[in-house]
Amino acid sequence: MSKVHSSAILTGDVQIADGAQVGPFCVLDGTMGPITIGPGTRLMHQVSMQGPLTVGERNRFYPSCSVGYPPQDLGFDPDKAGAGCVIGDDNTFRESVSIHRAKMELPTRIGDKNYLMANSHIAHDCCVANKCIFANNVSLGGHVEIGDGVIFGGVSTVHQFARVGRGAFLGGLTGLSTDLPAFFMLTAINVAGSLNLIGMRRSGMQRSDIDTVRWVYEVVQRRKLSRPNVLIALAERKENPIVQEYMRFIETAKRPITPSTGSALRGTSITTTVE
């Protein structure tokens, strides 16, 4: 049986599953579209939600979270429901996390087992995969795509339409407006000066796979090749699934691939660019 505190306000189409909890002074507005809260999910108190919104199982929302409200866009009609938001299972949303609903035909989407620390912001039409960690005050612009297991340092930001591959690491106080490939480390604004070696080892990657990622990094960042020639060079090992992943990422990039130029915070600055 669900538990809804007497001070919570539920309006419109709101469905609370058995085992879910809605704490004091929460506001769930299902008048724009339906809100569904899955079993085991807990809204601690003063959490605000607006539909269309689907929340899966065993999520925890800390005080002052705001989920499903309109995009921060002067051109968007705030009375338009749109595609809303979809949130998976086993996520943690700490104090004052904000997630906005989509403008386009697909919902803003958060996967499973993500941990978003205080004041993190996920803008409209973003797609966040699984097991990502957002430190305090991380901000994603609209239409950003995030792969599995990405770690964001505090106050890092991602420009709209940028992509981040799985296992990448964004250092604190950094900014990204390019596409950051898998396991690359953002060490300064738009500078991938290193690899997330610690993350790869902790994830249990085999040494041979880590060596493959090192080789890809050398091809992409150090050979001073144009993008077409980078793909030709990577094709030398195209049978390798990891290399195939990088090739797909580069082939589908609409933004530049994050270079290693600039004042990297760790290691030696590399002057190669990928165009």
Which positions are annotated as active-site residues? 124-125, 142
Is the CB of residue 50 less than 8 Å from the CB of residue 32?
Answer: yes
What are the tokens at 207? 């040494």
What are the tokens at 214? 């090192």
Which residue, 48, 83, 87, 42, is CA-closest to 60?
A: 42
User: Exposed, middle or buried by CB within 10 Å (0-12, 13-18, 19+), for 203?
Assistant: middle
**Dihedral, 132, 133, 137, 138 alpha carbons, nearest 10:** -30
Is the CB of residue 200 less than 8 Å from the CB of residue 184?
Answer: no
- Determine the straight-line distance between the first and last CA of the chain, rounded to whole angstroms: 57
Strand partners for 179: 257
What are the tokens at 125? 């039409």
CA distance 242 to 221: 17
- What's the number of CA atoms in the CB half-sphere (13 Å) around residue 41? 25
What are the tokens at 114? 């993500």
Which residue, 87, 78, 99, is CA-closest to 32?
A: 78
